[in-house]
Amino acid sequence: MQTSERIERLLTAVLDGAAGPAAPPRLAEAMRYAVLGGGSRLRPTLCLTVAAACGDDRPAVTDAAAAAIELLHCASLVHDDLPCFDDAATRRGRPSVHRAFGEALAVLTGDALIVLSFEALRPVARDAPERLAPLLGIVARAVGMPAGIVAGQAWESEPSIALDEYQRAKTAALFAAATAAGATAAGNDPAPWYAFGERLGEAYQIADDIRDVAGESAEIGKPVGRDHALGRPNAVAEFGLERARWRLESLLASALDRIPSGVADGGLRALLAHQARSLLPRSLARPAA
């Protein structure tokens, strides 16, 4: 089965488990809308690819970790789009959840997806019980306080933001978790994979900043120019386009250097090359080295 098909199947299965006749139908529908409406699936792909590079000896455990990571990512998008944050009208090329279902259901959709992501980890106990607590910790740290996604978002409510800490928490934390979770799911030490994932995440955030400045709304599926409009930090605004691009490329190279020696490649380098090409707006992309 292809990685992308594996991801859609496992997300659908987890969502099916949260639905059923007893569930309030509109919330169940909003959750599917938030998760199954496209999306790059970068983070679960990374999780599965690292697990493959580490042997993937318990595929059901890897699936659980990948699902948890993507559900948390989707939850963060739904809440980020709310009127009290970005007030985004579109996401993935169609109405954001709160525009499609109302604000109350959008808050609940995010909440339910956070809960579901942890519940998705429960099957780990069946196949590799000793891996459950480490995976729970990796996932929780990536999204909670003091330095996960929620913390990153909260820096926007502080009087001043340090760009590095903000981006590390808001984006890099979940990339690092995706790679660390992939290694842990396959019974490997996650430590070396954190640095790899963090660099990838920082690169992705810079690419996102570049797209926000130089991309086109139709291409990236959400409005452009939001950072400027919302007074948020943006690497292009801070360093200029050329320096931001240079930093993106050096981060990708540095990520490659962090791949622990001795693991099977498992498509990891190919994925990275593909990512490097797909991260930038088409008008700026050049083939990765």
Q: Which residues lie near a copy of itself (CB under 8 A)?
A: 18-20, 22-28, 31, 75, 79, 82, 84-85, 101-105, 107-108, 110-112, 114-116, 118-119, 121-122, 124-125, 129-130, 132-133, 136-137, 140-141, 143-148, 150-151, 153-158, 165
Which CB atom, from 9 or from 122, has the smaller least distance to a copy of itself? 122
Closer CB to a copy of itself, residue 70 or residue 252?
70
Angle at 141 between CA 41 and CA 73, to 5 degrees: 25
HSE value, Cβ hemisphere, 13 Å, CA-based, for 136: 13
Closest separation in Å from C-beta 22 to a copy of itself: 5
Which lies closer to a copy of itself via its Cβ, residue 164 or residue 219?
164
User: If residue 91 lies in a helix (H) or strand (E), which one and from where to where?
Assistant: strand 90-91
Q: Nearest approach, Cβ of 65 to a copy of itself (angstroms)?
A: 14
Other beta carbons within 10 Å of 124: 26
Task: For residue 24, say if its preceding peptide bond is cis, omega within 30 degrees of 0.
Answer: no
Name the one residue in this structure whose structure tokens are 């760009």: 163
Pairing verdict, β 90-91 and 94-95: antiparallel
Q: How far is the CB of 230 from a copy of itself (least distance, A)?
A: 11
Tokens representing 37 are 């409406």
Distance CA 175, CA 206 (A): 13
Q: Which is nearer to a copy of itself, 191 or 230 (CB)?
A: 230
User: CA-CA distance, 123 to 143, in Å (whole number)?
Assistant: 20
Residue 97 CB, shortest distance to a copy of itself, in Å, is 13
Rank residues 24 and 93 by Cβ distance to a copy of itself and give the closer one: 24
Provide the minimum distance between the beta carbon of 1 and a copy of itself in the complex, in angstroms, as a whole number: 26
Q: What are phi and psi of 86, to 5 degrees?
A: -85, -15
| Smallest distance, a copy of itself to C-beta of residue 173, A | 11
Smaller CB separation from a copy of itself, 53 or 86:
86
Cα–Cα distance for residue pair 120/206, rounded to 1 Å: 30
